[in-house]
């Protein structure tokens, strides 16, 4: 057998160390799936306050490694988990990363995100040198690490340690582009010739994501539907033209999920395990969920509709806002867990007391509660305006919590509609981005719920779906091999 393929992941979050969204789930699980296919993977991430203070102890690996980028010249210490299980490495520079959040507070982004993440991307070279690690391929994720492919193409060409290294750039969400004022460009240490229309420039600003798309050897996104959608003006967030010029190198690879973490058969965060062969344990989660949200015991027979989400426009909260008054007139319960934009915090905090016992709201990031909600709810709502892949609908299916989703991006690729004559279906799907269409889909789901036999068959069918990493990791490996040769 030949030498192992060596891949470096460069990413701004990853479970179990730091998470704001689906990116962290991917970065936390895809490396292991690749290792099972014989790939050697290392992951580079910032050493945030939450990593430093987290449960996993860390050890100093190397001191005073230098990043030299134009005006950003600092050193960092390289840290790693003391337990060698996870192949993670952390860039420690407290003035940049030791903060309460990763990218900003509900009021807005941190003012120095350009400096923070240019430094992080710049750390790739000293990291590889310190470990004498020659990556065959560098796999970067989202705008926070988009400069690494740019540096590889335009600054690091002569570095032996990176000789021949190819780059893959994965877009987890095209709406977050890393836009910064033009006058910060000298900080990046790049010649102005790379600023232009084929480089990082975007309507007079620096656009890091555009730099990554233009510089990487291959670009991927997290579902086949989203890879097509982002080449259109409706979903392209202004970068559809740039993406179309790279259409040949653009691939849609559906995210996998980690069923060791997200399966009712093994979940240690729920009161009783259950499976499609024995659903009894789900009732214990439903009872615990009702208690956690203070829901009325009189409604025990009624369905619980759950939402776990970043509170952002993308997720369709304007539709939730419009349908909630209608839903609250019916015999059902709604539970919402999320953090994000302040306008939604205020709205939910105002609504919750009006519907005590029927509407439960927690403005928090709480993984344990997220597991309990997946296990205890009956339906899961995702009326997203757009959805690159979406993970919660996939988790929901495994817990027999039937998704009600809008047919966009990864939601369209993972949920088969109940009502399709060829198959039983795994969820309820609507197309138009309107409150009427969303409400109609919920009502269809409620009608099906009333038919216990039908509902149980849909649950069992949803629980048999398999979106584990096996298939997706193989697709990444094929792509890596096609680039590395």
Sites of contact with ligand ADP (CB under 6 A) = 21-22, 25, 173, 308-310, 337-339, 365-367, 370, 389-392
Distance CA 257, CA 473 (A): 11
- Among residues 24, 162, 159, 181, which one has the least CA distance to residue 102? 24
CB of 389 to ligand ADP, least distance (A): 6
CB of 149 to ligand ADP, least distance (A): 22
Nearer to ligand ADP, 21 or 264 (CB): 21
Burial class (CB in 10 A: 0-12, 13-18, 19+), 221: buried
**Consecutive H or E run containing 58:** strand 58-69
Nearer to ligand ADP, 199 or 376 (CB): 376
Nearer to ligand ADP, 43 or 391 (CB): 391
Nearer to ligand ADP, 201 or 261 (CB): 261
Measured at the alpha carbon of residue 293, what is the angle toward residues 288 and 295, in degrees to the nearest 5?
85
CB of 340 to ligand ADP, least distance (A): 8
**What SS3 state is found at 147?**
helix
Phi, psi of 158 (to 5 degrees): -90, 5
Can you read off the two tokens belonging to residue 431? 């197309």
Q: What is the number of the residue whose Cβ is closest to ligand ADP? A: 22
Range list of H helices, 188-245: 208-215, 224-229, 240-245
Can you read off the two tokens belonging to residue 193? 């010739």
CB within 8 Å of 467: residues ≥ 6 apart: 254, 255, 256, 257, 394, 414
CB of 366 to ligand ADP, least distance (A): 5
DSSP per residue, 170-234: EES-TT---EEEGGGGGGGT--GGGTSTTTTEETTEEEHHHHHHHHSSEEEES-HHHHHHTTSTT
Nearer to ligand ADP, 212 or 316 (CB): 316
Distance CA 211, CA 150 (A): 6
Whether 253 contacts 389, CB under 8 Å: no
CB of 391 to ligand ADP, least distance (A): 4
Whether 48 contacts 102, CB under 8 Å: yes
Nearer to ligand ADP, 58 or 392 (CB): 392
CB of 228 to ligand ADP, least distance (A): 18
CB of 430 to ligand ADP, least distance (A): 18
CB of 295 to ligand ADP, least distance (A): 18
Distance CA 454, CA 150 (A): 53
**What SS3 state is found at 328?**
coil
Nearer to ligand ADP, 25 or 201 (CB): 25
Whether 418 contacts 395, CB under 8 Å: no
In the block, residue with structure tokens 């369209």:
412
**What SS3 state is found at 108?**
strand
**What SS3 state is found at 109?**
strand
3-state secondary structure 247-291: HHHEEECCCCECCCCCCCCCCCCCCCCCECCECCCHHHHHHHHHH
Nearer to ligand ADP, 338 or 425 (CB): 338
Nearer to ligand ADP, 242 or 337 (CB): 337
CB of 310 to ligand ADP, least distance (A): 4
Length of the chain, please?
485
CB of 390 to ligand ADP, least distance (A): 4
Nearer to ligand ADP, 243 or 311 (CB): 311
CB of 141 to ligand ADP, least distance (A): 11
Nearer to ligand ADP, 20 or 77 (CB): 20
Nearer to ligand ADP, 4 or 346 (CB): 346
CA distances from 284 to 39, 273, 297, 308, 376 (A): 41, 9, 13, 20, 8
CB of 155 to ligand ADP, least distance (A): 30
């Amino acid at each position: 057998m030949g030498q192992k393929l060596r891949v470096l992941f460069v990413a701004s979050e990853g479970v179990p160390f730091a998470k704001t969204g689906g990116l962290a789930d991917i970065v936390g699980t895809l490396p292991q799936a690749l290792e099972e296919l014989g790939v050697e993977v290392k992951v580079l991430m910032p050493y945030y306050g939450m990593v430093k203070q987290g449960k996993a102890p860390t050890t100093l690996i190397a001191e005073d490694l230098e990043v030299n980028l134009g005006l950003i010249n600092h050193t960092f210490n390289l840290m790693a988990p003391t337990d060698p299980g996870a192949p993670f490495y952390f860039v420690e520079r407290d003035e940049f990363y030791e903060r309460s959040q990763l990218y900003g507070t509900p009021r807005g982004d941190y003012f120095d995100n350009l400096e923070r993440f240019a430094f992080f991307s710049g750390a790739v070279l000293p990291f590889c040198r310190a470990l004498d690690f020659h990556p065959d391929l560098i796999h970067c994720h989202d705008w926070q690490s988009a400069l690494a492919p740019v540096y590889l193409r335009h600054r690091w060409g002569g570095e032996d340690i990176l000789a021949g290294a190819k780059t893959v750039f994965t877009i987890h969400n095209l709406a977050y582009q890393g836009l910064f004022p033009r006058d910060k460009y000298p900080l990046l240490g790049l010649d102005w010739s790379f600023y232009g229309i084929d480089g990082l420039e975007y309507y007079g600003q620096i656009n890091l994501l555009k730099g990554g798309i233009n510089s990487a050897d291959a670009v991927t996104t997290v579902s086949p539907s989203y890879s097509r959608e982002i080449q259109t003006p409706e979903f392209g967030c202004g970068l559809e033209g740039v993406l179309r010029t790279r259409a040949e190198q653009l691939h849609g690879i559906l995210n996998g999920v980690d069923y060791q973490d997200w399966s009712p058969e093994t979940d240690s965060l729920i009161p009783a395990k259950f499976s499609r062969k024995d659903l009894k344990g789900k009732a214990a989660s439903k009872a615990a969920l009702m208690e956690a949200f203070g829901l009325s015991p009189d409604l025990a027979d009624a369905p619980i509709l759950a939402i776990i989400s970043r509170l952002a426009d993308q997720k369709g909260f304007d539709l939730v806002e419009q349908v909630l008054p209608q839903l609250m007139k019916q015999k059902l319960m709604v539970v919402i867990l999320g953090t994000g934009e302040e306008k939604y915090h205020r709205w939910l905090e105002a609504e919750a007391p009006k519907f005590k016992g029927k509407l439960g709201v927690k403005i928090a990031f709480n993984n344990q509660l997220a597991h309990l909600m997946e296990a205890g709810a009956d339906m899961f709502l995702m009326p997203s305006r757009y959805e690159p892949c979406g993970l919660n609908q996939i988790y929901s299916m495994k817990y027999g919590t039937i998704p009600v989703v809008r047919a966009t991006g990864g939601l369209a690729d993972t949920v088969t509609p109940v009502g399709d004559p060829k198959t039983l279906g795994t969820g309820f799907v609507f197309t138009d981005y309107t409150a009427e269409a969303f409400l109609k889909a919920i009502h269809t789901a409620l009608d099906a719920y009333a038919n216990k036999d039908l509902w149980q068959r849909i649950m069992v069918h949803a629980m048999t779906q398999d979106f584990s990493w096996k298939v997706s990791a193989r697709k990444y490996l094929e792509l890596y091999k096609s680039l590395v040769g």
